[in-house]
Amino acid sequence: MSHDIETLLYTPEHEWVHVDGDVVTFGITDHAAEQLGDVVFVDLPAVGGTVTAGQVCGEIESTKSVGELYAPVTGRVLEVNGAVDADPSAVNADPYGDAWLVRVQLEGDLPELLDRSAYAQLIGAAS
């Protein structure tokens, strides 16, 4: 099931963020996926480890380039999406649904993130 992009939050580094209480799920936006091209490899953080808001926590590789995955929040990694590891093309096919990447237990407050209109403005300005 795809998330509704209107209700998601976003980072300037093109991650989308879904907040459900203190469980935060994130992935990369369709804009980021399009910029990368066909994704062929994802390197996601270890389950049980900690990610820090604003820090690189993984990599997304396409045939042509490498993108860094930034943690939008600080927290402990509950789960990563093994299906995307097995079939990275899901990142292009369904970035807001099947290709969620990381689920974390939020620690501390939610950092300041962009809403849809602010993100849309950001990518509009960038293209």
Partner 1 sequence: MSDPRSTAPPRSTVLRPRHEALGASFTDFGGWDMPVRYTSDLAEHHAVRTAAGLFDISHMGEFLVTGADAAPFLDEVLAGRISTMRVGKAKYSLVLAEDGGIIDDVIVYRIAEDRFLVIANAGNRDAVAAAFAERVPHPGLVEDVSDHFALIAVQGPAARAVLEATAGVEDVDPSLDRLGYYAFAAATFAGEALFVARTGYTGEDGFELLVSNRHAPALWDALLAAGTPLGLVPAGLAARDTLRLEAGMPLYGHELSRDIRPAQAGLSRVVAVDKPSFVGKVGVDPVETAPVLVGLVSEGRRAGRAGYDVYDGDIRVGEVTSGALSPTLGHPIAMAYVDPAASAAGTVLHIDVRGTRIPATVTDLPFYRRNP
Rounded distance between C-alpha atoms, residue 16 and residue 25, angstroms: 8
Distances (CA, A) of 123 to 15, 31, 110, 112: 12, 8, 23, 18
> Least distance from C-beta 92 to partner 1, angstroms?
7
User: Which of residues 22, 63, 108, 121 is near partner 1 by CB under 8 A?
Assistant: 63
Q: Which two tokens stand for residue 101?
A: 């990447």
Q: Which two tokens stand for residue 118?
A: 């602010």
Site for partner 1 in 33-62 (CB under 8 A): 34, 37-38, 40-41, 43, 59, 61-62
Closer by beta carbon to partner 1, 61 or else 94:
61
Closest among 50, 23, 42, 19 to 95, alpha carbons compared: 42
Q: Which residues pair with 106 in a beta bridge?
A: 75
> Least distance from C-beta 57 to partner 1, angstroms?
14
User: Which of residues 12, 47, 92, 107 is near partner 1 by CB under 8 A?
Assistant: 92
Cβ(56)–Cβ(43) below 8 Å: no
User: Which of residues 7, 55, 66, 126 is near partner 1 by CB under 8 A?
Assistant: 66
Residues that bind partner 1 (CB under 8 A): 34, 37-38, 40-41, 43, 59, 61-64, 66, 89, 92
